[in-house]
Amino acid sequence: MVFFNINFQYNSGMKIAVLISGGVDSSVALKLLKEQGHDVTAYYLKIWLEDELEFLGDCPWEDDLSYVRQICEKDDIPLKIVPLQKEYFQTVVKYTISEVKAGRTPNPDVMCNNNIKFGLFFDKINIKKYDKVATGHYAQIIEKNKRFFLKKTPDPIKDQTYFLSNLKQSQLKKLIFPIGHLAKNEVRKLAQKFDLPNKSRKDSQGICFLGKVKYSEFIRHYLGEKKGDIINFDTKEKMGEHEGFWYYTIGQRKGIGIGGIKDSTGKPFYVVDKDSKKNIIYVSNKYHDQKRDTLEVSNFNWFAGTPPIADPAEAVAKKTLNVKLRHGEHEYKAKISFPSKSRAKLKLDSPDQGIAAGQFVAFYDGNICLGSAVISK
């Protein structure tokens, strides 16, 4: 396949809105665009959690904004703060709570990109006024036959195409990622070269909207506690109690709440299933004996507009693609077949012990991200 990589085709003098967070990556992206001669405006998104749940823990937004202001003032870059607390709650937060309550595994970072950073933010700033919107994401935008795709960054650990795999064409065509062709160590070197005030700042970890707040505390605030049984999946024996199925994920081993109980084999127990209606957690110490290598997906988002096979309606139609089940460098080869146009079955080349309904799956052909789907079962 021959693609046109638009990351290296910036015409100087473009009017660009740059989303800046206070971290090193977005700061370097802003500086690079400024040095290339573009007309840049920095935007800082203020989201709901920073005000509403700050009692749960320290939120870094004041530190973030301090760094952002220093960088913008030094280079005389206009800075605008966009409050999106209410919008964030109505989209990303409600989605997260709803998915957890239904026993599924949400991905708020994917939804944040879709609905906030490249959704409502576009509306807030009147996107037509700008040629492009830039961020510090580790990804690249490529074009083929007037369709836009994602390409992996050279840094496999930092690559963020998974989190961007559900974006639409209308969003991709407006985006540029100035550091997408760089590895993290190269970005750090640029931060030192530019003498940025946050050049030595550590990367943020965890879900984008939580800051330093623990995910369990966030869930506890909205869903509370509800005692239920922990059941041995194999023997149906009750092994203990929990405070709500929503605190547990498929494949979890630590913190299950059964006091490190092991049988004569000495194998630890893992969470293998959840019953959201009965509030039951099922555990097993035969978890790794089970072949967890098949899954069903739906809600497709193909960047090309159609699946990468001739006729997805044919049950016999199959193709092998690489897939990511979560952010990170690990991929599986998967045979994909389409029992119908609206769903597909994936057969992985090796088991994954953390497959759970609600997770996003990103599809790849080599370094090219083709889109995504959601695990239905």
CATH of the domain at 274: 2.30.30.280
372 vs 213, higher pLDDT: 372
- Least Cα distance to 199 among 183, 185, 182, 178 occurs for 185
Q: Which domain holds residue 299?
A: 294-375
Q: What confidence score (pLDDT) does residue 3 get?
A: 43
Catalytic entry in 59, 72, 112, 369: 112
Q: What is the pLDDT of residues 90-113, one digit of tens each?
A: 998 899 999 999 889 899 899 999
Q: What confidence score (pLDDT) does residue 287 get?
A: 66
**In terms of domains, do 268 and 310 share one?**
no
Return d(Cα 23, Cα 26) in angstroms, integer: 6
Q: Is the pLDDT of residue 220 over 80?
A: yes
Question: Within its chain, how far is the Cα of 52 from the centroid?
Answer: 23
**Hey, what are 166's tokens?**
């559900």
Q: What is the pLDDT of residues 234-279, one digit of tens each?
A: 899 998 899 999 988 888 887 786 765 555 566 788 888 889 899 9
**In terms of domains, do 203 and 248 share one?**
no
* Domain count of the fold of the chain: 3
Q: What is the pLDDT of residues 131-155, one digit of tens each?
A: 999 999 999 999 988 999 999 999 9
**In terms of domains, do 114 and 237 share one?**
no
DSSP 8-class letter at 297 = E
Q: What is the pLDDT of residues 14-69, one digit of tens each?
A: 999 999 988 899 999 999 999 999 999 999 998 755 555 555 455 556 778 888 99
> At which of 287, 320, 338 does a domain end?
287
Minimum mean pLDDT range among 7-21, 31-45, 187-201, 216-230: 7-21
**In terms of domains, do 27 and 162 share one?**
yes
Q: What confidence score (pLDDT) does residue 316 get?
A: 47
Q: Is the pLDDT of residue 354 over 70?
A: yes
> At which of 216, 241, 258 does a domain end?
216
pLDDT band at residue 318, thresholds of 50, 70 and 90? Answer: low
Mean pLDDT of the region 71-99: 91
Residue whose structure tokens are 């966030």: 218
288 vs 80, higher pLDDT: 80
Q: Is the pLDDT of residue 337 over 80?
A: yes
**In terms of domains, do 253 and 170 share one?**
no
- Sequence length of the chain is 377
pLDDT band at residue 338, thresholds of 50, 70 and 90? Answer: confident
Q: What confidence score (pLDDT) does residue 64 get?
A: 83
Minimum mean pLDDT range among 160-164, 307-311, 339-343, 373-377: 307-311
Question: Within its chain, how far is the Cα of 264 from the centroid?
Answer: 40
122 vs 11, higher pLDDT: 122
**In terms of domains, do 260 and 236 share one?**
yes
**In terms of domains, do 163 and 112 share one?**
yes
**In terms of domains, do 246 and 298 share one?**
no
Return d(Cα 87, Cα 95) in angstroms, integer: 12
Helical ranges in the chain per DSSP H: 24-35, 49-52, 61-74, 85-88, 94-101, 108-112, 121-124, 161-164, 169-172, 184-193, 215-223
**In terms of domains, do 103 and 12 share one?**
yes
> At which of 216, 234, 264 does a domain end?
216
208 catalytic per annotation: yes
Question: Within its chain, how far is the Cα of 66 from the centroid?
Answer: 26
Give the strand pairing for 318-324 and 332-340.
antiparallel
Catalytic entry in 59, 72, 208, 369: 208
Mean pLDDT of the region 347-374: 92
112 catalytic per annotation: yes
295 vs 287, higher pLDDT: 295
- Least Cα distance to 376 among 349, 339, 321 occurs for 339
**In terms of domains, do 252 and 283 share one?**
yes
**b/e code 93-106 from CB counts within 10 Å (16+ = b):** bebbbebbbebbbb
Q: Is the pLDDT of residue 72 over 70?
A: yes
**In terms of domains, do 77 and 135 share one?**
yes
Q: What confidence score (pLDDT) does residue 6 get?
A: 47
Average pLDDT, the chain: 85
What CATH number is associated with residue 80?
Answer: 3.40.50.620
**In terms of domains, do 204 and 231 share one?**
no
What percentage of residues in the chain have a pLDDT greater than 90? Answer: 55
